[in-house]
Amino acid sequence: MDSTAEANGIWISSFSAYTFTTILTTLLVVALMKRYRFVKRCDKLYGPPTDIPLWGGGSIILVPPEEIMTLLLLLHTVFGRKSASGMVRSWIGPLPMFFATTAEATEAVLSSNKIITKSREYNFLHPWLNTGLLTSTGSKWQGRRKLLTPSFHFKILDDFVHVFDEQSRILVNKLNQAIVKEKELNIFPFVTLCTLDVICETAMGRNVNAQSKTDSDYVQAVYSMSEVIQKRQIRFYLWPDWLFKLSAYWPEQCKNLDILHGFTNKVIKERKLEHQQNKRQNLEIVETTMKDDAFSKRPRLAFLDLLIEASQDGTVLSDSDIREEVDTFMFEGHDTTSAAITWSILLIGSHPEVQELVNEELDRVFGDSDRPVTMTDLNELKYLECCIKEALRLYPSVPIISRSCQEDFIIGGDEIPAGTSVSICPYFLHRDPKYFPDPEHFRPERFQAENSEKRHPYSYVPFSAGPRNCIGQRFALLEEKSILSAIFRNFHVRSLDKREEIILLAELILRPRDGIRVHLEPKKK
C-alpha cells in the first residue's frame, strides 16, 4: 500500500513538473512568436540592419551625448534619403524608434490628433513636472491647453517685457565686470543665469538672483535635475523604476525634488495669501475681461498669479495642479531660451555683415539712448527676429521631438505599429536643401516674409507644430529679442569658435559641450 501511494505521488509530481514545463515552454514560444512578428513589422521600414534577432539593436545605447548627433546624421543622410515615405527605423536596445526625416512625414506626425501623447522618454519628467501641459495627454491636456492659452495673451506678455529688460541690464553689467579681467569669455553660463532669473520672475514672481548667487540651492537643483533626467533617458537599463531606485541617481533626484517642489510650494502658499489679502482690501488683481482699459489698470503679474486666479479657489486647479504647471513653465522656458540666445550670439558674431545690419536696426529703433526696451521696440526688430529664427533653424533648442503611437498609424504608406515612438530631429529636418538651399549657410533673410511664405509649414519646427506646438513661443521670441538687443546695443561681438569645431551635446536641449567663446568690445556711448 505504501509503495503504491509512493508511486502515485512520484507520478503526480512528475506529471505536475511536466505540465508546468509544458505551460512555461508554450508561453515562452508564444511570447517569442509575438516578438518575432513585432520585430518583422518594424523591420519593414527602411533603416540600419537589426543587430540581434528578436532583440533589436544596441548601437544607440552606448553612444555618449556628444556622438548622438553623428548617429542621427547617419540615419537621415544614408537611410532617410532612400526612404520613399520619409520614415526611418532604428533600435534603442529592444525598443524600435521611428524617425520622420521629411517635412511631409513630419506633417503627418505633428498635425495628427491621434499622435498627441508624448513618448515614453517624457515619463522621466513626471517626478518633477507630474502631468502638466508638457507631459499630459487626452482630456487633461486639452483642458489645460484651453485654460492656459489666455495666459500668453499679447497684452499679458507686455508686462513681461519689463522683466526681460531688467534682467538684461543685469546681464550687461555682469559682462562688463567680466571683461575687465578678460575680454574673451564663455558667454553660455552668463546667458543661462539671466534666463533663469527671467523665468523665475515671470513664472513665480520671485527672483532667485541667479546672476548674482550662482550657488543658490534652487539654481543648482534645476541643473542637477535636468542632468539626472537626461542620463536616465539615454540609459535604457535605468528606465524601470525599480532599477533606477537602485542607482546613485535616485537619492540625487530625491534631493533635487525636495528643493524644487519645496521652493514652488512655498511661493504658491505665499502668493495665495497675498491674493486673499488683496481681495479683503478689495483690490482687483486680475481683470476678468480682455478689454484694453482693463489691462491698462492691472498690476504686473506672474504666470503663477494667473493660475491662482484661474484656479477659482481650488475648484478648477488644486495647489498641486498649479505647481505642476509652474514647474513645467520653469523647465520649458529656461534652458531652451538660453540655448537659442547663445547660438544666435555665435552666428551673429561670426558674420560681421549680419552684425552690421543688426546694429543699423538697433540704431534706427533706439538711437544713442539707453532707455528701457518696450513691446513696440521688440516688434520693430524684424531683422533681429530673422537672425533668431535662422539660428533656431541651424541649432534648434530641442534636438528631438517624440510622440507615442497609441494605435497603428500609416505614414507615407509605411505602418507604424501601436506602442512605438515616432521622433522628429529638427536639426536635420531644417537642413533639407529642398526648402533651405545651401542649408549650412547662416542667412537671416530666409525668414523675411517674401522668402518664407511659400515654404512647407512643417519644414521648420523649432517650437514643434500642430495641436501640441509650444504655447510659449511668442514669450520665448520676445525674451530672446530683448536680451540679444541689450547685448548688441552695448557690445561689438566677435565669435572665437568655428562652427565645424563645436561639439554638440544632444541632451534635453542642444547645447555646445564646451560653451561658446566670444570677444566683447564695449561700444562707445
Q: How confident is the model at residue 296 (pLDDT cuts 50, 70, 90)?
A: very low
Q: What is the pLDDT of residue 5?
A: 59
Quote the number of domains for the chain: 1
Is 375 contained in some domain? yes
pLDDT of residue 58: 55
What pLDDT band is residue 119 in, cutting at 50, 70 and 90? confident
Residues facing 197 on adjacent strands: none
Collapsing DSSP to helix, strand or coil, 302 comes out as: coil
Average pLDDT, rounded, for the chain: 86
The verdict on residue 397 lying in a domain is yes
Most confident among 76-85, 222-231, 319-328 (mean pLDDT): 319-328
Chain segment 476-488, per-residue pLDDT in tens:
999 999 999 999 9
* C-alpha cell belonging to residue 444: 537671416
End-to-end Cα separation, the chain, in angstroms: 113
Q: Are 76 and 100 in contact (CB under 8 A)?
A: no
Let me know: does 460 contact 134? Beta carbons within 8 Å. Answer: no
Confidence tier at 388 by pLDDT (50, 70, 90): very high
Per-residue pLDDT, averaged over 425-453, amounts to 94
More confident residue, 313 or 248: 248
Which pLDDT score is estimated for 95? 81
Q: Are 336 and 506 in contact (CB under 8 A)?
A: no
* Mean pLDDT score, 241-254: 94
> What average pLDDT score do residues 505-514 get?
85
Instruction: Give domain status of residue 90, yes or no.
Output: no
pLDDT(52) > 80:
no
Say what the pLDDT of residue 272 is: 85
**CA atoms of 462 and 459, how far apart (whole Å):** 10
Q: Tell me if 76 is assigned to some domain.
A: no
Residue 371, C-beta contacts closer than 8 angstroms, at least 6 positions apart: none
State the cell numbers at 169: 541690464
Q: Of 13-22, 224-233, 306-315, 437-446, where does the model show the most confidence?
A: 437-446
pLDDT at 12: 58
pLDDT band at 399 (very low <50, low <70, confident <90, very high): confident
pLDDT at 4 over 70: no
Please determine, for residue 233, whether its predicted confidence score (pLDDT) is greater than 60: yes
Q: Is 95 exposed, middle or buried (0-12, 13-18, 19+ CB in 10 A)?
A: middle
pTM of the model: 0.88
Bridge-based pairing state of the strands 401-404 and 421-424: antiparallel
User: Mean pLDDT over residues 56-79, rounded?
Assistant: 71
Q: Domain span at residue 503?
A: 138-522
Higher pLDDT, 306 or 9: 306
pLDDT at residue number 508: 79
CA 257 from chain center: how many Å? 19
Q: Is 138 a residue whose pLDDT tops 90? A: no
Structure-model confidence comparison of residues 461 and 15, the more confident one: 461
Contact between residue 432 and residue 458 where contact means Cβ atoms under 8 Å apart:
no
* Residue 514 located in a structural domain: yes
Q: Taking residues 354-373, what's their average pLDDT? A: 95
Tell me: the pLDDT tens digits for 147-186?
A: 888 877 777 788 899 999 999 999 999 999 999 888 789 9
Q: In this predicted model, what pLDDT tens digit does every residue of 183-226 receive, in sequence order?
A: 789 999 999 999 999 999 998 888 888 888 777 788 788 888 88
Give whichever of 308-322, 407-421, 449-463 has the largest mean pLDDT: 449-463
What pLDDT is recorded for position 209? 86
Q: How far apart are CA 187 and CA 459, in angstroms?
A: 30
497-520 burial, b at 16+ Cβ within 10 Å, e below that, comes to beeeebebbbbbbbbbeebbbbbb
Find the length of the chain: 525
- Whether residue 473 lies inside any domain: the answer is yes
- C-alpha–C-alpha distance, residues 305 and 283, integer Å: 14
Res 507: pLDDT: 76
293, pLDDT greater than 50? no
In a domain, 14, yes or no: no
pLDDT, residue 135, reads 86
- CATH number, domain of 191, equals 1.10.630.10
In the sheet that holds 491-495, the strands lie side by side as 184-186, 517-522, 491-495
Pairing of the two strands 504-506 and 95-100: unpaired
Percent of the chain with pLDDT over 70: 89
194 annotated to a ligand binding site: no
**Weakest mean pLDDT among 103-107, 298-302, 424-428:** 298-302
For the cut 50, the answer to whether the pLDDT of residue 274 exceeds it is: yes
- Between CA 482 and CA 422 the distance in angstroms is 35
Q: Is the residue at 511 inside a domain?
A: yes
